[in-house]
Amino acid sequence: MECLNVKYENKPCYNIHFRPDFTDLATVFKSDLNKQYDNICVVSDSNVAGLYLAEVVQIFKGLCDNVCSFSFDAGEASKNLDTVSLLYEHLIMKKFTRSSLLVALGGGVVGDLTGFAAATFLRGIDFIQVPTTLLSQVDSSVGGKTGVDFNQYKNMVGAFKMPKMVYMNIGTLKTLDADNFACGMGEVIKHGLISDKDFYQWLKDNKDKVMAREYEALAYMVQKNCDIKRYVVEIDPTEKGIRAYLNFGHTLGHAIEKLCNFSLGHGQCVGVGMVCASYLSMKLGYITESEYNDIIDCLKLYNMPVSVSGLTAADILEASKSDKKMTGKKIKFTILKAIGEAASYLDFTDEDLLEAIDQVLD
Ligand SMILES: NC(=O)c1ccc[n+]([C@@H]2O[C@H](COP(=O)([O-])OP(=O)(O)OC[C@H]3O[C@@H](n4cnc5c(N)ncnc54)[C@H](O)[C@@H]3O)[C@@H](O)[C@H]2O)c1
Ligand SMILES: [Zn+2]
């Protein structure tokens, strides 16, 4: 599989291409988009710009007469409306029209921000995603969610906006640091646990190849993840039902992320949250104690933390209650019905949750 088509409202919508480098970018762009754009802006951040921007801009220069670039300081702190304003100004100055295109070259921050700008500039212009982190390849670039943070609220302002194409150069993962790689692995392990037992087993069997970032192993892993996420978002594009399963580990994970002031990566916090959610799944009798321990071992295999220090269970519970994913006063919790199968659960008491959180406190 070198290409995966994602449907939206039951119609073919966009292709995701998996490649080892940028060689085919121009060719697949021409065949997928089949449209002459008057302007193209490649958006990236200060790290990615130094690594890949020149090569990507050069490729687009062969496809369009007016190609420019825009980059901002790397990091979540830039994912806000101020940066979006600077991008709008840049696009206005460069005379972008409704026949112009944005290219998001970077991780989830670049993808979410560029997608949001594309959804809103001139009431919507086309954009494509060229994700360069593991997290953005296996998660954020699939599904059409875009947005920025507002004050202290994460992803508070956003829009659903489908890209015209996603081009994954899996070779870019070679330059990603270990922490950001582990962050993406949190979502990868989550995808296995909620929907594919065999893939979860594959992850345990192929740890050395994945950690050595062997192309074949990464290509298989990224494609498998995109297929899992594609399946979920096609059935439930606006999160009314099973898309909530993707929140496995996130309810408590987000709370931990917030409380440790984002000093631990998102995927790492989700990993810790998955330990709690797996503990609760065990308590409900859905998974065995040895399966629970096996999940912890799998996270450790991929250098993910399975506990946190300096926080209290009460604080974590409190913070999780202010999260967006609540139904009425109850926390909507995703649990495992089995390894490879998820479900929603609404009836945990505070005592249940505190007991689960205790498992991950140092
Ligand atoms: N839209 C969605 O559905 C969705 C889903 C999950 C997460 N997200 C969002 O994604 C964001 C996190 O994404 P992320 O983890 O990719 O963060 P990121 O975009 O900040 O990238 C992490 C770091 O890696 C650097 N980087 C990127 N590619 C690189 C490469 N190939 N080599 C070396 N360094 C590289 C970046 O400059 C940055 O410093 C969050 O804002 C989160 O809210 C969105
Ligand atoms: Zn996540």
CA distance 40 to 101: 5
Closest atom of ligand 1 to CA, residue 183? 15
State residue 221's pLDDT score: 98
Say whether 112 counts as a known binding-site residue: yes
DSSP state of 245: G
Instruction: Tell me which of 112, 174, 269 to substitute to probe ligand 1's pocket, judged by most ligand atoms within 8 Å of the beta carbon.
Output: 112
**CA quadruple 46, 51, 56, 57: dihedral, nearest 10:** 50
Mean pLDDT across the stretch 318-337?
80
Q: Is the pLDDT of residue 327 over 80?
A: no
Residue 326 scores a pLDDT above 70 = no
The residue whose C-alpha atom lies closest to atom 37 belonging to ligand 1 is 47
Please state, in angstroms and rounded to a whole number, the distance separating the CA atoms of residues 53 and 48.
Answer: 7
Instruction: Note the pLDDT tens digit of each residue in 276-294.
Output: 999 999 999 999 999 999 9
Mean pLDDT over all residues of the chain?
A: 95
Query: Which pLDDT score is estimated for 1?
Result: 63
Cβ neighbour number for residue 160 with a 10 Å cutoff: 15
Give 146-186 pLDDT, tens digit per residue.
Answer: 999 999 888 999 999 999 999 999 999 999 999 999 999 99
DSSP secondary structure of 333-358: EEEEEETTEEEEE----HHHHHHHHH
- Ligand number, closest to the Cα atom of 186: 2
What domains lie within the chain, and their CATH numbers? 3-172 (3.40.50.1970), 178-359 (1.20.1090.10)
pLDDT tens-digit readout, 55-96: 999 999 999 999 999 999 999 999 999 999 999 999 999 999
Q: Known binder of ligand: residue 173?
A: yes
Mean pLDDT of 255-274: 92
Mean per-residue pLDDT for 85-109?
A: 98
Tokens found for residue 65: 């007469």
| Residue 191 Cα to ligand 2 middle (Å) | 10
Tokens 């899996």, located at residue: 170
User: What is the per-residue burial (b if ≥16 Cβ within 10 Å, else e) of 214-230?
Assistant: eeebbbbbbbbbbbbbb
- What residues have CB less than 8 Å from 75, skipping those under 6 apart? 45, 109
Beta bridge pairs of residue 316: none
Class of residue 328 by CB neighbours under 10 A (exposed 0-12, middle 13-18, buried 19+) = exposed
Residue nearest to atom 6 of ligand 1 (CA): 140
Does the pLDDT value for residue 238 go beyond 90? no
Is the predicted pLDDT of residue 324 greater than 80, yes or no? no
CB of 88 within 8 A of CB of 121? Answer: yes
Nearest to 333 by CA among 305, 352, 307: 352
Residues 344, 246 contacting (CB under 8 angstroms): no
Mean pLDDT of 296-318: 96
Residue 189 in this model has a pLDDT that exceeds 80: yes
**Is the separation of the CB atoms in 274 and 193 below 8 Å?**
yes
Ligand 2 center from residue 187 Cα (angstroms): 6
In a mutational test of the pocket of ligand 1, which residue from 78, 135, 222, 270 has the highest number of ligand atoms less than 8 Å from its CB?
A: 135
Query: Going by CA atoms, what residue is nearest to atom 7 of ligand 1?
Result: 140
Of 6, 83, 140, the residue with max ligand 1 atoms within 8 A of its CB, to mutate for a pocket test, comes to 140
**Dihedral angle sign, alpha carbons of residues 37, 13, 189, 270:** positive
Q: Looking at the DSSP assignment, which residues form a beta bridge with residue 167?
A: 17
Q: Which of 163, 97, 153 is nearest to 130 (CA)?
A: 163
DSSP E strands, the chain: 3-8, 11-19, 40-45, 67-72, 101-106, 126-131, 145-150, 153-160, 165-169, 326-327, 330-331, 333-338, 341-345
pLDDT exceeds 90 at position 191: yes
CB neighbourhood size of 145 (10 A)? 22
pLDDT of res. 237: 79
pLDDT score at 261? 84
Question: Ligand 1 site: residues with CB under 6 angstroms?
Answer: 45, 47-48, 51, 74-76, 79, 106-110, 112, 132-133, 135-136, 139-140, 143, 145, 155, 172, 175-176, 180, 183
pLDDT of residue 323: 65
Pick from 118-122, 239-243, 280-284: least confident: 239-243
Question: What Å distances lie between residue 343 and 10, 207, 215, 226, 249, CA to CA?
Answer: 24, 27, 33, 20, 12
Tell me how crowded residue 84 is: count the other CB atoms within 10 A of its CB.
Answer: 21
Are 309 and 362 within 8 A, CB to CB?
Answer: yes
